[in-house]
Amino acid sequence: MKAFTIKELKEELTNCSSAELLELCLRLSKFKKENKELLTYLLFESSDEGAYIESVKREMDGQFEQINTTTYYFIKKSVRKILLNLKKCIRFSNRKETEIELLMYFCAKLKAFTPSIQHNNRLRNIYNGQIELIKKKLTAMHEDLQHDYLMELEAIDK
């Protein structure tokens, strides 16, 4: 089955009644967990971005505590899974400030993690890649916000 373009879907959705839109949303949420999570964000959490950021940070803290530290292999797998979940949460929000705050928190947690990530090239590369991504995202922001976030980033990256 070939999927239609966003434009075609938008045109068709404008022709639907409220009841039909409600039914479509509920059906869509049944098929994939990610669709349900996005709908949850849009309906309940998007109005208070600060609380959403804090809930994602708490979730990330729990994930960091559960990492199996017996080998760097398990640590790397867990860190990549945490980063994957974090990117999903960032995609839901679609705000640059949220993205930068969450990525900086991830980097701070990773840097403070024991055993140190400095003893493993792949973990260092994950960390450095996220630092570079933050720097790249900062260039598109307002100068005042850039300065504030750069100061925080320097504190993390020392």
Q: Which pLDDT band holds residue 157 (cuts at 50, 70, 90)?
A: confident
What's the pLDDT tens digit per position in 46-67?
899 999 999 999 999 999 999 9
Of 53, 52, 144, which is closest to residue 106 (Cα–Cα)?
A: 53
Sequence ranges of the domains in the chain: 48-156
Q: Residue 19 above 90 pLDDT?
A: yes
DSSP letter at 119? G
Q: Residue 158 above 80 pLDDT?
A: no
What's the pLDDT tens digit per position in 24-37?
888 888 888 898 99
pLDDT of residue 137: 92
Distance separating the N- and C-terminal Cα atoms of the chain: 52
Q: Residue 1 above 80 pLDDT?
A: no
Q: Is the dihedral of CA 74, 75, 77, 78 positive or negative?
A: positive
Please tell me the distance from the alpha carbon of residue 127 to that of residue 12, in angstroms, as a whole number.
Answer: 44
Token look-up 């947690």 returns 109
pLDDT mean across residues, the chain: 92
